[in-house]
Amino acid sequence: MRALPTGTEIGNSYVIEAPISVGGMGAVYRARRISDGAGVAIKHPLEERNALRFQIEARLLARLRHPRVVRVLDHVASEHGDVLVMELVRGPSLASLLSGHGPLPVGQAIEYARQSCEALAYIHAQHVVHRDVKPANLILADEGIVLVDFGIAKDARAEDRPTGALGTPRFAAPEVLAGAAASPRSDVYGLAATLWAMITGEPPSFLARGSLAARLPDVSRKLDGALAAALEPDPHLRLASAEEFARALGEGLRHDRGASLSLSIPRPSAARSVLETIVRTVAGVFGAAAASIAFLDGGDLVYEAAWGAGAEEIVGVRLGPGAGIAAHVAASGRAEAIPSCRDDLRFAHALAESTGYIPNTMLVLPIGPTARPFGVLQILDRLDGLPFRTGDIDRGAALAELALTALDMHDTADTIQDETA
């Protein structure tokens, strides 16, 4: 495919303004949305064979909502091929900072690494492995670090297939360069190599890593130990998560700076941790892009927790009686598999549009007694692209029953606590 010249229109919706960067999977351009003039970033595949990777990247990014992760806004099939439309993250990459200024002060480098840990902790909780964590893919925006370029990212739950080496030499973990499966530990290695580069000006090599504390007076033994543990060649001995790396650095994650994995209304019916576990587990079992749980409050159905795409916007929303498919299921007590949401006259289009995420297919399950359910569990968009069918209802009903059991156990535990207090 050819490069997109300035002035190229994409799908009558966007206009290319200038190139930003070129990577192995595609070129990124600054563009303008025709409807309102807003600036966006457009990624365009360099080769036809990368079109499938673009579809995977779009699907993975569509379910991610976090201030430290670039957000996908649109996926357009145009006469120029598929393009991804993303938010325009303004600011230099850590790579450009290093090339322009050399090594960064240690305290500043650690803070950038901590913020990067927030991004990695979030995407790993969503079962996404980035596979190319490096300074060029970490942008220093107004509010801090933002992780970009998910061109070779993968769903950690998808079946692993043999691949060639992926990632960038000297930032990619040894097991990835050897063609083995990537994991969150691989991303931890990439971030540790990035921190090393921020401190020394260049990434570590396998032959000459050694102790930084012995070479640089500003590097503490604690930092030295954290880097050694995160750069361990054997992934089984390496720090297992971004949270562990942040703790090893002595910083920890500041969850108030990022969007929660699952959000609850101020006074949920159950503990936030219980609701988080339910929606996250349900989505994981079904391999879904999103899941939510809502409870009846009078005649209204109130969304109390959600995971995945649209999570921030759906929580706290009230549906009146008969408004939307979920409200119908709550009223009837009968589970429904909706192969195509847009073709169902009950589908709440306005609500979906307000969250920024319009599902293609959904499974809606009542929670509680069939004659009088007190809530619903919704599962949206299978990641394999297939629609939900009636054959999925039995498996979904078993999950709804497990959710009910979890809520009952929580209530019982609260009762026992109250009685023994």
Q: Retrieve residue 75's tokens.
A: 């996926």
Q: Retrieve residue 79's tokens.
A: 């006469």
Instruction: Write the CA distances from 176 to 16, 57, 171, 230, integer angstroms.
Output: 35, 19, 10, 15
Q: Retrieve residue 134's tokens.
A: 């490096």
Residue type, 171: F
DSSP-assigned states of every residue in 128-183: EE-S--SGGGEEEETTEEEE---TT-EETTSPP------S-TTTS-HHHHTTPPP-
- CA-CA distance, 157 to 60, in Å (whole number)? 12
Percent helix, percent strand, percent coil in the chain, to nearest 5: 35, 20, 40
Compute, in degrees rounded to 10, the torsion defined by CA atoms 44, 117, 188, 57.
-20
Beta carbons of 227 and 246 less than 8 angstroms apart: no
Q: Retrieve residue 107's tokens.
A: 């305290």
DSSP-assigned states of every residue in 92-106: -BHHHHHHHH-SPPH
Beta carbons of 54 and 77 less than 8 angstroms apart: no
Q: Retrieve residue 28's tokens.
A: 């990124």
Contacts 24+ apart (CB under 8 A), 403-411: 403/278, 403/282, 403/293, 403/367, 403/377, 404/367, 404/368, 406/274, 406/277, 406/278, 407/269, 407/270, 407/274, 407/278, 407/367, 410/270, 410/271, 410/274, 411/270
Beta carbons of 362 and 341 less than 8 angstroms apart: yes
For the question of residue 343 being annotated catalytic, the response is no
Report which DSSP code applies to 310.
T
**Catalytic-labelled residue, pool 36, 74, 82, 132:** 132
Residue type, 293: I
Q: Which residues are catalytic?
A: 132
